Amino acid sequence: MKTSKYSHFVKNYTYARFNYSTLFVRVLPTDNCNLNCFYCFQRKDDAVDMPWELFVQVLDKARELKLGLMSFLGGEPMLWDHLYDALALCSKHNILTDMTTNGTLLNRETIERLGSSGLDALNVSVDTKSSLSASKKNTLFNGDIVKALKTAEKTYGMKIRMNGVIFNNNFEDIKLLLELSKESEIPLSLGFIVPDLKSDRNKKSYFSEEDTELLGEIVDYILQRKKEKYPVIDPDSYFTNVFKFIKNEYFWECNYPTKYGWVNVVSDGTLRGCTKKMDDSDMTFLSLTPEKIKHYKESLQEPVKECNPFCYSNCAYDSAYYRDNKLAFIADNFSKTF
């Protein structure tokens, strides 16, 4: 099964080099979440979940447009009633899948169901060992959960990864997270907090030039751990360039407007330009054609230029970096991620 998925991905990746397609699709089946982390603005309390019938149509359309990888995001995707059926249907059609979860709904039963449904990569968000007012994402500090995840990885080939958010008062927790990653041999992706572009809320937890000394300590610490073979998967430049970010310099380009950028589809079937901005459009995924994908990507270029200097999402930065350093991605990350 895995070999068939990889072959299918490579075939459609090759197609995407010369054509506009939906190689990478993010499905956000719900914007509901059972947490309210202070730094997160990817949730809605009045969200409506994606109907099963619509998901099937979206998957069929994505396959028609040469889908290679479907990612499930939210909100919290594990709140969606149809998650396991959706993963199984993707596997039936040899589609690679990954999912990002806050981890609160993980237990032996749900981990087993994710693995048996064919999920290829599970990204678990974790920020702190003890529950902070800022974040309650600490599931992976539960040894039984880690053991169950490692069992699923061995049994089903479901790759496990940690995601952690660095804000200006959780450095000690990040140190603990690095140790957990090393001890459990679970790859870790670390990202600096992304400011809410629509609000100044919780601004005190964002980094600024006043935090240069603290950032220097954080960056040096992480890079030293990387030298010691801790499994941090973000490129060194993500950390060293944070000093440019706090000065709002334009030094990297988001992947969204490119052929390889994610196409985000929300619960009603419309497109969302950026998961951070929650900027839903009137265009529906089911209406897409290669020509419309081209025009849609082009329409994102100017908005991205405006927000790029104020955003430092590690998933966006890493995608852009590995877009231009493909051999580095294969060498450093592919085996860990899929």
Q: For 249, which DSSP code? A: -
Give 70's strand partners: 25, 97
Q: Residue 130 has what pLDDT? A: 74
Q: Is the pLDDT of residue 122 over 70?
A: yes
Helix 108-116 to helix 143-156 angle (10° resolution) is 20
Q: Residue 230 has what pLDDT? A: 96
Q: Is the pLDDT of residue 326 over 70?
A: no
Q: Is the pLDDT of residue 334 over 60?
A: no
Rounded-to-integer distance, Cα 338 and Cα 143, Å: 23
Is-contact 145 106, C-beta < 8 A? yes
Rounded to the nearest integer, the mean pLDDT of the chain is: 91
Q: For 18, which DSSP code? A: T
Q: Residue 199 has what pLDDT? A: 67
Q: Which amino acid type is present at position 335?
A: S
Rounded-to-integer distance, Cα 14 and Cα 16, Å: 5
Length of the chain: 338
Taking only the tens place, the pLDDT of each residue in 149-174 is 999 999 999 999 999 999 888 899 99
Three-class SS state of 181: helix
Taking only the tens place, the pLDDT of each residue in 251-307 is 998 889 998 899 999 999 999 998 888 888 999 999 999 999 999 999 999 998 888
- Better-predicted residue by pLDDT, 205 or 1: 205
State the CB neighbour count (10 A cutoff) for residue 284.
15
Please give the average per-residue pLDDT across 139-147, as a whole number.
92
75: alpha, beta or left? (left if phi > 0; alpha if psi -120 to 50): left
- Categorize the per-residue pLDDT at 101 as very low, low, confident or very high, splitting at 50, 70 and 90: very high
Nearest alpha-carbon partner for 258 in 313, 312, 305, 320: 320
**Inter-CA distances, 221 with 22, 179, 183, 187, 240, Å:** 38, 12, 17, 17, 12
Rounded-to-integer distance, Cα 211 and Cα 338, Å: 36
Q: In the structure encoding, which two tokens stand for residue 68, read together?
A: 């290679």
Give 99's strand partners: 72, 122
Q: Is the pLDDT of residue 115 over 80?
A: yes
Taking only the tens place, the pLDDT of each residue in 195-247 is 776 666 666 778 999 999 999 999 999 999 999 999 999 999 999 999 999 99
**Residue 297, C-beta contacts closer than 8 angstroms, at least 6 positions apart:** 20, 256, 257, 258, 259, 261
- Categorize the per-residue pLDDT at 70 as very low, low, confident or very high, splitting at 50, 70 and 90: very high
In degrees rounded to 5, what are phi and psi of residue 123?
-105, 120
Q: Is the pLDDT of residue 179 over 90?
A: yes
Buried b or exposed e, range 177-196, using 16+ CB within 10 angstroms: bbebbbebebbbbbbbbbbb
Q: Residue 200 has what pLDDT? A: 64
- Categorize the per-residue pLDDT at 135 as very low, low, confident or very high, splitting at 50, 70 and 90: confident
**Residue 229, C-beta contacts closer than 8 angstroms, at least 6 positions apart:** none
- Better-predicted residue by pLDDT, 37 or 329: 37
Nearest alpha-carbon partner for 122 in 131, 133, 111: 111
Q: Is the pLDDT of residue 97 over 60?
A: yes
Taking only the tens place, the pLDDT of each residue in 17-61 is 999 999 999 999 999 999 888 778 777 777 899 999 999 999 999
- The alpha-carbon radius of gyration of the chain (Å, integer) is 19
Nearest alpha-carbon partner for 195 in 216, 172, 168, 213: 168
